[in-house]
Structure 1
Amino acid sequence: MSDARVLASLIEEIPGAELVRGDGDAVVEHVEHDSRRIEAGALFVAVPGFNVDGHAFLTDALEAGAAAVVVERGRRGTWRHLPGDQPIVAVDDTRAALAQAAAALHGHPGRDLTVIGITGTDGKTTTAYLLTSILEAAGVRVGRLGTVDAYVPGADIGSHTARMTTPEAPEVQRLLRAMVDAGCEYAIVEATSHGLALHRLDEVAFDVAVLTNLTGDHLDFHESFEAYREAKGRLFSALDRTPIRP
């Protein structure tokens, strides 16, 4: 369960975030990118999607009780005349901000785990299950976040909709927090090319990266094999950003 945070404190952990309306005293209890799931205390992050733009639902989110909204500076026309007086936070990239805000709200749980990221065209789930079995046989408490399921030993983690890809950043961080709260030492995370390219895994704090293989796939999204390979490579680049553990 995440701790509530005062908005002003939370946005200090989002690089380049600027409070452009309202004050920072609002209390944020959860981070959400889907306006249909907004409840009181939510920080709604307006993410441009493939078919719809979250900025089109800012008014809906505020009317549903959002404590504040996060918008992109480059889409000023969508938010400068919003009704009400709830705080508006402007950033350069709301997808990146979604991951940063979710990780901050949950206390950066990945930093309290040894996180093994697995990427590749095929074999991610098999490798994740094998590693889970090996670590558990060694007496290590381990959680797993995959494309078909999520596993936290002894915990009721609620619903995790399998979509054959990485869930959005708020769900990733919620599950990592559940692993920490359940006493896990390790987390095994399947890192899809979509999840890496769309910043869903930006704040996971990977310690180990595994590549199973690389063949042409998902080119409808990445458009070229080079872009697909670059997306997979983001997992290895992420290792450089993980804080050194004492």
Structure 2
Amino acid sequence: MLLRSLMEKLDFVALQGELDVDIMSIAFDSREVAENGLFVAIAGFTVDGHDYVAKAMENGAAAIIVERDIALQGVPASVTVLKVPDTRKALALTAAKFYGEPTEKLSLIGITGTNGKTSTTYFIKSILEGTKRSVGVIGTIGAMIGDRTLSTKSTTPTTPESLHLQHMFADMALSDVDYCVMEVSSHALSLQRAAASRFRIGVFTNLTPDHLELHRTMEEYYEAKAMLFDLTSDYNVVNIDDEYGRRLADKVRHYDTKLMTYGIGDGSSSALADVFATNIRYEADHTTYVAHTPAGKVDIRVNLPGLIYVYNSLAAVACAYCEGVSLEQIAAGIRAVERIKGRLEVVYQDADRKIVIDFAHTEDSLEKALATLRPFTKGRLILVFGVYAAPGKDGSGKREAMGKVAAEHADFCVVTSDNPKNQDPDAIIAEVSAAVEAAGGKYRGIVDRREAIEFAIAMSEKDDVILIAGKGHETTQVIGKTEIPFNEAEIVSEIMSSQA
């Protein structure tokens, strides 16, 4: 494709060269530049692509896009150099053009919020598949079409970088996918990964403290999430039980898109919601309720326990209603989701104990997970958890908050490592343990996460429930710069098998 065509929607200044250059590929990593490729220099958090322009040319770049001035000495006259205000946005726009504007060829549904994105995605996927639509998914657990995992490269969690994202959309379009349901993180929105994507429907689940190392304040975090709803064309689905959701609903009410709200019918703000739940009944392994919609009401069974899954399935109900799916098909689709990997997943249960893993890694999600398990715990509720947070004031605040939640809602806490990365795990555990102790909780600190799980199992007694929180579906642990295999479901199975 000609470089001129790729740049159609971009403001740029040509520092050198011609636009009638045939581009065969795009890369933002200089090591992946191929002959006659376009290299987009992105300034990352630790590495600046502008420092690797020479490497990109060495690998065959025919054109370079930059956002700051670079020395042109030594750049061959045959290489075109263009300057734009924002190379991240340029990457998104050129990638979308290169792959044929794929989001114009499928219905894209984006889900954002601190918690609940993954399960909401899977509820929507199940409902749509029940109506014989072909559905793709992109999110925390991976990217797939139906049950087939996509091989398209991605180097980021939750929402891929824009180049990879547009490639995934193109793969889905070529496979005649009707819908793509994807999680859209605040990082992705702030860093322009979704900038060139057209969403038919945007869904907002909730907003609680997280990722403040990037956004600095809750206001910035909210503004990042709200960016999704500037990219939607048809519907915005919003949880108005959440205070930020109410703000968002007031904001988007005046957009050209249609607003669909949801919540719990408890006589408060949710009484005004378009879709709401009543008659909620909680059991140890499922939840039932009546969903009320503008088209009538229907009985819903969710095969996951707890209030959070009432909200997440309600979001799916509202989204499917917007798509004209019948109430019977909606109920059947939600019921068809038997489990979601790493979401209150029971990985072991016998007459004496139950062991559950969950992705809960914020104070809000941890509190909800513990509160969900508490009513069905006859013995003690034992928690194994660690906290990853960026260094500094915000990180210390998160560690303190999660330690306090753990102490207040668990009977015993085993404080351990999550993904310590380049931080000192002993220091993290000491800080979290101090917060648990200050809140009156009982605890033991164990750096090695496997040893922590073994300790929790060894100390457990009849009728105890063990919650291992923070990693959920993840199958690796990052210590320093090393990523090691760490599948908690398998680890629990190994430990219990050795005791048999």
- Name the TM-score, length of structure 1 as normaliser: 0.89
- Seen in structure 2, the aligned counterparts of structure 1 residues 161 and 11 have a Cα distance that, compared at 3 Å, is closer
Match of 1:80 among 63, 72, 76: 72
Assess if the C-alpha contact under 8 Å between 1:153 and 1:182 holds in 2.
no
Secondary structure of the residue aligned to 1:101 is: helix
Assess if the C-alpha contact under 8 Å between 1:120 and 1:214 holds in 2.
yes
Alignment of 1:144-223 (within 5 A): 144-153=137-146, 157-161=150-154, 163-223=156-216
| Corresponding position of 2:448 | none
Assess if the C-alpha contact under 8 Å between 1:30 and 1:42 holds in 2.
yes
Assess if the C-alpha contact under 8 Å between 2:201 and 2:233 holds in 1.
no
The answer as to 2:18 corresponding to 1:23 is: yes
Give the gaps of 5 or more residues in structure 1: none
Secondary structure of the residue aligned to 2:111 is: strand
| Corresponding position of 1:97 | 90
* 1:160 CA displacement: 4.1
* 1:157-214 C-alpha deviation (Å, 9 max, x unpaired): 3244474331110000000001110001111111000000000001110110111111
Q: Distance in 2 between matches of 1:154 and 1:128?
A: 14
- Percent identity of equivalent pairs: 38
The answer as to 2:3 corresponding to 1:7 is: yes
| Corresponding position of 2:29 | 34
* 1:58 CA displacement: 0.5
Assess if the C-alpha contact under 8 Å between 2:200 and 2:234 holds in 1.
no
* 1:144 CA displacement: 1.0
AA aligned to 2:28 is H
Secondary structure of the residue aligned to 1:167 is: coil
Q: Distance in 2 between matches of 1:188 and 1:158?
A: 17
More strand per residue: 2
Higher Cα radius of gyration:
2
Assess if the C-alpha contact under 8 Å between 1:125 and 1:190 holds in 2.
yes
Q: Distance in 1 between matches of 2:64 and 2:24?
A: 13
Q: Distance in 2 between matches of 1:154 and 1:26?
A: 40
- Seen in structure 2, the aligned counterparts of structure 1 residues 161 and 23 have a Cα distance that, compared at 3 Å, is closer
Q: Distance in 1 between matches of 2:117 and 2:186?
A: 12
* 1:65-111 C-alpha deviation (Å, 9 max, x unpaired): 11211011xx21x2433421211111111111010000010111001
| Corresponding position of 1:120 | 113
* 1:149 CA displacement: 0.4
The answer as to 2:226 corresponding to 1:233 is: yes
Match of 1:58 among 32, 53, 60: 53
AA aligned to 2:6 is L
AA aligned to 1:43 is L
The answer as to 2:127 corresponding to 1:134 is: yes
Aligned residues: 235
Backbone CA RMSD of aligned residues:
2.0
- Name the TM-score, length of structure 2 as normaliser: 0.45
Q: Distance in 2 between matches of 1:42 and 1:154?
A: 33
Q: Larger deviation: 19-28 or 126-135?
A: 19-28
- Seen in structure 2, the aligned counterparts of structure 1 residues 17 and 162 have a Cα distance that, compared at 3 Å, is closer
* 1:148 CA displacement: 2.5
Q: Distance in 2 between matches of 1:40 and 1:162?
A: 22
* 1:25 CA displacement: 2.6
